[in-house]
Amino acid sequence: MPVERHERVGSLVDGRYRILAAMAEGSMGVVYRAERVPVGKAVAIKFLHASFASDPEFLGRFERETRVMSKLAHPHCVSVLDFGVSEGAPYLVMDFVAGQTLRQLLDEEPLPPVRALGLMRQILAGLAHAHAQGIVHRDIKPANIMVTEEIGTGAHVRILDFGLARLRGAISSSATQSMVIVGTPSYMAPEQTVGGAVDARADIYAAGVVLFEMVTGRKPFAADDAFDLLGMHRGAPIPRIADLLPEGTAIPPGLQAMIDKAMAKEPAGRYQSAIEFADAIDADTPPVGVRRLSSASLRIEAEDAHDATAVDTSQAQTREATAAPPRRSRGPAIAVALALVGGVGLAAALLGRGGGETPVAAVAHDAGTADAPAVAVAAPVPDATPVIEAVDAAIAIDAPLDAGDGDAASADGDAALDDAGTAVAVEEPEPADPTKVEDPDPAAGTTVAEDEADDAPADTAAALARTPVAPSPAQATTIAGAVKLIKEGQRGLALASLRTLARSNPRSAYIPFLEGNLYYDQRWWSVAMDHYRLAISRNGAYRGNPILIRNVIRTLASGKTRGKAIYFLRRTIGRPAAPYLRAAAAHDPNATVRKQAAALARVIR
């Protein structure tokens, strides 16, 4: 029987690691803070869901990947210390890193160019080490970069999540036997968007996107549709950073050219290695006041690693020939990585798009205040649920989306079928004025909550993993029917109905708005904001919806959701939130909300 998250707290894993607290949860598993006994060393343990242990193919990949990741041992890479299977669940033991993700830093404000270049120099040092071991990250983004303040060295970068992207791909491909694309849409290199061969230069492209975002505070490309976004990565020109910065901002010479080269559409046009990218930083825009890392030393490390890899391969073959037990591994990261799988209809729709353009296999959308989560897309899978779920909803509004459920629309637009074979409505009419749409059950949210629920999932993917929905004849077959269920208090059945209806209404903004209200009333506030963000990305008029704005303002009360709410109000809603913020600052019963709303009201006008 699977072990619940809370049941692990206080337990001893394999006689070596005592679980102290759960830190985060994603679609692949749960991350805990733990200590190595008896020495008391702090570690992080990521338990993958027990369902993976029943897949021999995945377990084989898990062991192979952890062996590869064991080669990572670098100051700018989070290391894996151990791995195993406990009570049916595979786990990884990693360095415990306290600090902020780069995503959290950028949620507050862009970085001065000099600081951004200093951090990028460290990111490239970690990538150079990984690439020398033959390891391509595939999902470089601000949410996978941890920044800590170290005594004597200042800001120190560590890259998270090495290896887990490949494991996500293994999960999807073993389930579907079809092509899988893994990555986060806003940071994917052009060759990733079409299922092409991926090498270290895909990480170089993503690093260029991250540098652009660090300096400007926004991603280089945004679109209402995820597929359009991927097309922009393949064909749209890179915006000029000077056009996005306040007048008079000092831009280091060569910075734009550096970003342009890192983000070249063709891999051959980019920097061919992280070392070459680092050399460009040193030559064109040397950072001031940051610890410099020698490119020469990186080359020496790469050459040494190449030699060590050959030796390690030989030794591994010897170990396997003698049936020696696998050595414990060192390698990836503690950041939550989300894997979402699109349904067969989504794949069909993708293949039908683009007027001759190379088709994209699929895409999905980071946790907490993270970016759009990583995507593993394939077809078909059972119970492919709503599109929030399959789309980087933040792309149109320059805001991070923590996760999505999978969703698919039929390629030809005909009526879709739910898993029970029941016909569901297609493309139902949307409300004429989203600013006047009301909550069908406003009484459910009248109790003023002071905090997000203790059991609230970190993101939408985690919510779906915890509360899978089985098709039921009692489900509503129209949006109006789902609204009726909400009014009758049948909220669980209404949510299940909306998830099914989302398949045949892939452009609906009203459905995720309703889902957001249901999750808000349930006090799953992070998940509610994911759905609100998707509603806005499909219909910008929802930025002015009073119910949505007031609910997001209320989430300022919780320390778990405050950072995400601040970003949402500033970047996603913007000016329409101003009068509601002023009202909350004057009248909200919660002192924290009043304080935060007053501060936001001063910057959102």
- Catalytic residues, by residue number, are 139
Say if residues 529 and 568 touch (Cβ distance below 8 Å): yes
Placement of tokens 């951004």 in the chain: 116
DSSP 112-175: PHHHHHHHHHHHHHHHHHHHHTT---S---GGGEEEEEETTTEEEEEE--TTHHHHHHHHHHHH
* CA atoms within a 13 Å half-sphere pointing along the CA-CB vector of 314: 5
Dist. CA 502–CA 387, nearest whole Å: 7
3-class DSSP string for 399-468: CCCCCCCCCCCCCCCCCEECCCCCEECCCCCCCCCHHHCCCCCHHHHCCCCCCCCCCCCCCHHHHHHHCC
Task: Give Cβ neighbours of residue 465 (< 8 Å, ≥ 6 apart).
Answer: 27, 49, 457
Q: Would you call 310 helix, strand, or coil by DSSP?
A: helix
- 8 residue type, one letter: R
Beta strands in 231-386 (DSSP E): 375-377
Dist. CA 405–CA 534, nearest whole Å: 11
Nearest-5° angle of CA 483, CA 486, CA 489?
155
Helix (H) or strand (E) holding 226: helix 226-235
Partners of 83 in beta bridges: 92
Say if residues 545 and 435 touch (Cβ distance below 8 Å): yes
Query: What six digits make up the tokens of 127?
Result: 């990538």
Distances (CA, A) of 455 to 46, 285, 493, 526: 18, 47, 20, 12
Dist. CA 197–CA 185, nearest whole Å: 17
What are φ and ψ of residue 507, in 5° steps? -100, 0
- 58 residue type, one letter: F
